Amino acid sequence: MTEIEKRQDRSPVPSAFDYAPAPESREIISLEERYGLFIGGEWVEPKSAEYEPTVSPATEEELAQVAYADAADVGFAVDSARDAFDNGWSDIGPSERAKYLYRIARLLQERSREFAVLESLDGGKPIRESRDVDLPLAAAHFFYYAGWADKLEYAFPNRRPRPVGVAGQIIPWNFPLLMLSWKIAPALAAGNTVVLKPAESTPLTALLFCDVVRQAELPPGVVNIVTGDGRAGAELVKHPGVDKVAFTGSTEVGKEIQRAVAGTGKKLTLELGGKAANIIFDDAPLDQAVEGIINGIYFNQGHVCCAGSRLLVQESIHEQVIAKLKRRMGTLRVGDPLDKNTDVGAINSKEQLEKIKELVAAGEEEGAEIYQPPCRLPEKGWWFPPTVFTNVAQSYRIAQEEIFGPVLSVLTFRTPDEAVEKANNTPYGLSAGVWTEKGSRILSMAQRLRAGVIWANTYNRFDPASPFGGYKESGFGREGGRHGLEPYLRFE
């Protein structure tokens, strides 16, 4: 036996390659045992004296006790915002307002790792998404609206823009810091003050943002953060001192808010649910489209209002697309959100997990064919594997109701007309995707699809300069871009 042969015998070739754990350190964040309310530039104890825990969805461990505001607390925050508006902020020079927004943007960049870890810890989303999507976009929105602060008269020519007053803002749990940025940045650029209520299950990055406000030396009362559940949100909506209400969340709650605001003269924008169609034509670049499908539905565990949760595939390529999709799903890694290799993190709450399970069971009962790749889920925490349903009919609940989880429903079509009809056959109208090599077909489909945002040969791409919003039961009004300023302005 030669020397080479002996060496080969001693060096077995591994049968499989896998990713070694690459956890992000939790040591970068320092949590308080208990958080109060941030009102008038100071931390205050809630008049309600009520606190509830916020829990990590990946481990079910309690992270901190968070104040739950009542009507008196909300009233105190609104009064503080009104005082700040009347006594300086609305009259400050636009270029000075821009400086504060620039400071906030830079501070978010400087502390991005800290915020990313906290976002993943409190919300369950993979650290790669928090680090590479949420934080850069949050900072970008403050940069973008800082640029508009002293150009409002150019944004709306032949009109005299003035701030509305006090903005009451309520944000969801799927993108806590990013939604905060979407709301606060345009409001401050327009000269308003803010009372913001984060979701009760993901308040920690909003509370850390209070320290950014302090570092930026924003005048007291310009930004106020009140934590709590739906009761605090309801008190904020109906408070007579609030001039503008902005809400992102479920369609059901949005309808309640619209009823509460009707007749009060308050300005209102609603960004609600969705059931987006991701449409794949037979001339689409299939490997690229499969990546778009994956990003469209499994990004952030499907906790995305504009998720491409309905896949419409042209009949002639259906089998090929499904085979490629299943093969790609087998490479997705589900697990610790703080591991840099994780693709799909934890479901945000036990309640949301139960809703996902209920709708998936309904899909199976109605006759759809389910596929889930082999996947070992952690024993603690709330988890659900990436799931795809085929043989789905338009009438099935999984094709009509928003699941808000990593669940994809696949339907087929033969002609562009049929694709448009099926895509629009939903009470929602937030987003859609079109995959084809024909530019004329993209433009034709975009004109006919009843959706506020339409992506072409990509999905889930966001830019602060581009407006975002929906039609029908997906709400009204736009956030982002020049359009996102208008709801925070009145015109003389």
> How far from chain centre, in Å, is Cα 271?
11
Judge whether 50 counts as a catalytic residue.
no
220 close to 82: Cβ distance less than 8 angstroms: no
Which residue's entry shows tokens 């338009």? 394
Catalytic residue among 119, 129, 235, 271: 271
Residue 184: both structure tokens together:
């606060």
Answer whether 277's CB lies under 8 Å from 432's CB.
Answer: yes
Nearest-5° angle of CA 214, CA 127, CA 180? 40
Backbone phi and psi for residue 369, each to the nearest 5 degrees, phi listed first: -95, 120
Which residue type sits at 467? Answer: P
Distance CA 155, CA 148 (A): 8
Q: Pick the catalytic residue from 24, 305, 473, 486.
A: 305
C-alpha 490/C-alpha 492 separation (Å) is 7
Q: Contacts by 179-182 with C-beta closer than 8 Å and gap 24+?
A: 179/248, 180/138, 180/205, 180/206, 180/209, 181/108, 181/137, 181/138, 181/139, 181/141, 181/142, 182/141, 182/248, 182/468, 182/479, 182/480, 182/484
Which has the closest alpha carbon to 305: 399, 423, 173, 183?
173
Burial (Cβ within 10 Å: 0-12, 13-18, ≥19) of residue 259: exposed
- Helix H, strand E, coil C: the string for 112-174 is HHHHHHHHHHHHCCCHHHHHHHHHHHHHHHHHHHHHHCCCHHHHCCCCCEEECCEEEEECCCC
271 is catalytic: yes
3: amino acid identity, one letter = E
Which residues are catalytically annotated?
271, 305
